[in-house]
Chain A
Amino acid sequence: MKLEERARELEAKARELRFHIVDMVHAAQSGHCGGSLSAADIVTALYFEFLNIDPANPDKGDRDRFVLSKGHACPVQYAALALRGFFPVAELRSLRAMHSRLQGHPVQGKLPGIEVTTGSLGVGICEAVGLALEARLRKASWRVWAVLGDGELGEGAVWEAAQAATKFGLDNLIAVVDNNGLQNDGYCRDILPLRSIPDKFRAFGWAVLEMDGHDMEDILRTFGKALLITGSPVCVVAKTVKGKGVSFMEDKRDWHGKAPNAEQYAQAVAEIKGGPA
């Protein structure tokens, strides 16, 4: 299939993910819409095109490992896992409820497909380094993909992990930065100016690629390129919009961790289902 055709299919899939993100956060009346929606296209591409995973055998040894370092965005991962067949889609609405497998932040062992526990920012990328080292130790061919927030880059541990990954030459590690420009208290440029994320990772010894995190063709091409890089870890900096796909959530600080009410839910669903791809 041509890349363009595949991109159209994945765009439709991303729309489904977006619907379920808003739907489950609405059902729970709690959760993080903004950062889930900004990562929806990236996560769709990974789960439906790139990750070597098998819902029938979620623990198969040589699977790729996906680490959601920005764990608060787990609605996007839960939606992807359900739509990929790891557990029933109907279970998504149990998000954050008592006894649910869909914890407020991802918990290893609770739900098939969750590799490591995350939720405290700055930790997931370090765990990803450990997973990449484990692949080397086992002489296994799996790849580790980690998705980070841009606010998350404020944690010093991210840069400690970045240096370790370079030292160990972890070319089986790909970190994707969801560069939506917002963190909890406001724009990153006001809260903690990052200057150039690509320059920073390059200075730390990583190969860096940049892409539009909402252009599916660009995502497919860029991830494809990332797979070919050897000798160093790869950082893909994805330009994104927080809340992407729901007009009133886009680029808004206060949609970081808020649930839509009934009216907002109806409008969000209408936009996701009816809007342009």
Chain B
Amino acid sequence: MMHESAKIPTRRAYSDRMAERGESDPDFAVFESDIGYSTYSYLFGDRFPERYFNFGIAELSTMAAAAGMASTGRRVIVSGYGVFLTMRALEVVRSFICYPKLNVKLLSSHGGLTAAIDGVTHQATEDIAFMTTLPNMKVLCPADPVAARAACDLALDTPGPVFTRLMRDPLFELYGTEEEFHIGGSKTLRQGGDVAILSYGDLVFKALLAADRLAALGIEARVLDLYSVKPWDREAVFAAAGECGAILVVENHQRRNGLGYEIATTLLKAGSCLPFDNLGLDDTFAESGNYHEMLDEYGLGPASITAAAERLVAAKKGRA
């Protein structure tokens, strides 16, 4: 498998697109809370200063002001780090944006453990739980720059609140510029019938690396990019369950209340009982350190994914 390292992180790709789109789409505004040079929202601000509002370090009131502006119908992108958008401003997002279904779009950088080196206060490892739990919220998590640009368009073109989880570190290029994405969609990046690995964001690439290792062991893994985390692609996931007979969900997030929990519950309710596992932080906080080392350390690297998939395949054989 050959994939180019991405030159830019997904946070940058989303902001690049946001700044470009400002030309043809004169109606949306961007709110920032003093990390515009980190989220790259300044790229929009430099081109459209009259539609860019930097509130200083004040995430809660920034979000509430976005609700106020969006109450008129205007689309507002609120830029920030995942920890502050989804925790400090959570009540505003819930009660005053999701409840009235306002057009507020969250550009949420430093998702999962990509803020690894900054430590736990900067690692958004519960954001998917918070955001997917909110009624009316849609949740996207692009795995590469092309998908991140598409996420910006999807967010702006879809009525109501849309949260996009972006990463600090550059990932890998998985998609050509022609690739199309939609709310509720997914991408099957590798075919296989022995086990299905479902992931989103940065760990899609780790899943692909694991699939290479599994192939060397004679196991053909299907790999799905569930870039639309909510709603997620029920059809593709049920097809994978039916055809592969084992499901592994891999998330840069707490295991608890992540996408894995949601998929497991849905499969169970549909009467599908199959070997299943989900990888994520196991009810623990991480720490500071190198991003890739950290993923390995906390069981989210290719070795852990490979081992988990092997266990599922063995369990499947045991049942047969």
Is the CB of B183 closer than 8 A to any CB of chain A?
no
- C-beta contact mask, B110-152 vs A, less than 8 Å → 1, else 0? 0000000111111000000000000000000000000000000
The residues of B that contact A119 with a CB separation of less than 8 Å are: 118-119, 121-122
Docked complex Cα distance between A111 and B54 (Å): 36
- C-beta contact mask, B38-69 vs A, less than 8 Å → 1, else 0? 10001000000000001111101100000000
Minimum distance in angstroms from A187 CB to a CB of chain B: 11
Docked complex Cα distance between A62 and B55 (Å): 40
Task: Please state if B288 and A104 are interface contacts (CB–CB under 8 Å).
Answer: yes
Is the CB of B84 closer than 8 A to any CB of chain A?
yes
Task: Please state if A183 and B122 are interface contacts (CB–CB under 8 Å).
Answer: no
Grouping DSSP codes into helix (H, G, I), strand (E, B) and loop, the B interface class, with mixed when no group exceeds half, is: helix
Is the CB of B287 closer than 8 A to any CB of chain A?
yes
Task: Please state if B119 and A151 are interface contacts (CB–CB under 8 Å).
Answer: no
Grouping DSSP codes into helix (H, G, I), strand (E, B) and loop, the A interface class, with mixed when no group exceeds half, is: loop
Is the CB of A264 closer than 8 A to any CB of chain B?
no
Minimum distance in angstroms from B316 CB to a CB of chain A: 35
Minimum distance in angstroms from B11 CB to a CB of chain A: 15
- The interface stretch among B29-37, B96-104, B153-161 is B29-37
Closest partner residue, chain B, to A100 (CB atom)? B288
Task: Please state if A104 and B118 are interface contacts (CB–CB under 8 Å).
Answer: yes
Task: Please state if B287 and A183 are interface contacts (CB–CB under 8 Å).
Answer: no
Q: A100-B288, A185-B34 are in contact. Are A192 and B55 (CB under 8 A)?
A: yes
Task: Please state if B289 and A192 are interface contacts (CB–CB under 8 Å).
Answer: no
Task: Please state if B83 and A120 are interface contacts (CB–CB under 8 Å).
Answer: yes
Task: Please state if A185 and B35 are interface contacts (CB–CB under 8 Å).
Answer: yes
Closest partner residue, chain B, to A117 (CB atom)? B121
B289: contacting residue among A99, A105, A118, A253, CB under 8 A: A99
A152: contacting residue among B38, B57, B61, CB under 8 A: B57
Minimum distance in angstroms from B116 CB to a CB of chain A: 8
The residues of B that contact A151 with a CB separation of less than 8 Å are: 34, 56-57
- C-beta contact mask, B271-300 vs A, less than 8 Å → 1, else 0? 000000000000000011110011001000
- C-beta contact mask, A1-31 vs B, less than 8 Å → 1, else 0? 0000000000000000000000000001010
The residues of B that contact A257 with a CB separation of less than 8 Å are: 38
Is the CB of A181 closer than 8 A to any CB of chain B?
no
- C-beta contact mask, A117-156 vs B, less than 8 Å → 1, else 0? 1111110000000000000000000000000000110111
Question: Number of B residues whose C-beta is below 8 Å from A?
Answer: 30
Is the CB of B256 closer than 8 A to any CB of chain A?
no
A122: contacting residue among B37, B57, B118, CB under 8 A: B57
The residues of B that contact A155 with a CB separation of less than 8 Å are: 57-58
Docked complex Cα distance between A119 and B115 (Å): 13
Docked complex Cα distance between A152 and B287 (Å): 24
Task: Please state if A156 and B118 are interface contacts (CB–CB under 8 Å).
Answer: no
Minimum distance in angstroms from B23 CB to a CB of chain A: 23
Task: Please state if B58 and A192 are interface contacts (CB–CB under 8 Å).
Answer: yes
Task: Please state if A120 and B32 are interface contacts (CB–CB under 8 Å).
Answer: no
Task: Please state if B56 and A96 are interface contacts (CB–CB under 8 Å).
Answer: no
Is the CB of B88 closer than 8 A to any CB of chain A?
yes
Is the CB of A227 closer than 8 A to any CB of chain B?
no
Q: A99-B289, A122-B57, A154-B58 are in contact. Are A184 and B37 (CB under 8 A)?
A: yes
Is the CB of A103 closer than 8 A to any CB of chain B?
yes
Closest partner residue, chain B, to A94 (CB atom)? B288
Task: Please state if B88 and A120 are interface contacts (CB–CB under 8 Å).
Answer: yes
Closest partner residue, chain A, to B45 (CB atom)? A185
Task: Please state if A107 and B120 are interface contacts (CB–CB under 8 Å).
Answer: yes
Minimum distance in angstroms from A75 CB to a CB of chain B: 13
The residues of A that contact B37 with a CB separation of less than 8 Å are: 184-185, 253-254
Task: Please state if B56 and A192 are interface contacts (CB–CB under 8 Å).
Answer: yes
Q: A30-B117, A104-B122, A191-B56 are in contact. Are A185 and B32 (CB under 8 A)?
A: yes
| A135-181, CB < 8 A from B | 151-152, 154-156
The residues of A that contact B83 with a CB separation of less than 8 Å are: 120
Docked complex Cα distance between A121 and B290 (Å): 23
Task: Please state if B34 and A156 are interface contacts (CB–CB under 8 Å).
Answer: no
Docked complex Cα distance between A151 and B55 (Å): 11
24 A-B interface contacts by CB (under 8 A): A30-B118, A96-B119, A98-B297, A99-B287, A103-B120, A103-B287, A104-B288, A105-B118, A105-B121, A117-B121, A118-B121, A119-B121, A155-B58, A156-B60, A156-B61, A183-B34, A183-B56, A184-B34, A184-B36, A184-B57, A185-B34, A191-B54, A192-B56, A192-B57
Give chain B's interface residues, CB within 8 Å of chain A: 32, 34-38, 42, 54-58, 60-61, 83-84, 88, 117-122, 287-290, 293-294, 297
Give chain A's interface residues, CB within 8 Å of chain B: 28, 30, 71, 96-100, 102-105, 107, 117-122, 151-152, 154-156, 183-185, 188, 191-192, 253-254, 257
Minimum-distance CB pairs A-B, first 3? A192-B56, A119-B121, A98-B289
- Seed contacts A151-B56, A192-B58; 14 additional CB < 8 Å A-B pairs: A30-B118, A98-B288, A98-B289, A99-B287, A99-B289, A100-B288, A103-B120, A105-B121, A105-B122, A120-B88, A154-B56, A185-B36, A192-B56, A257-B38
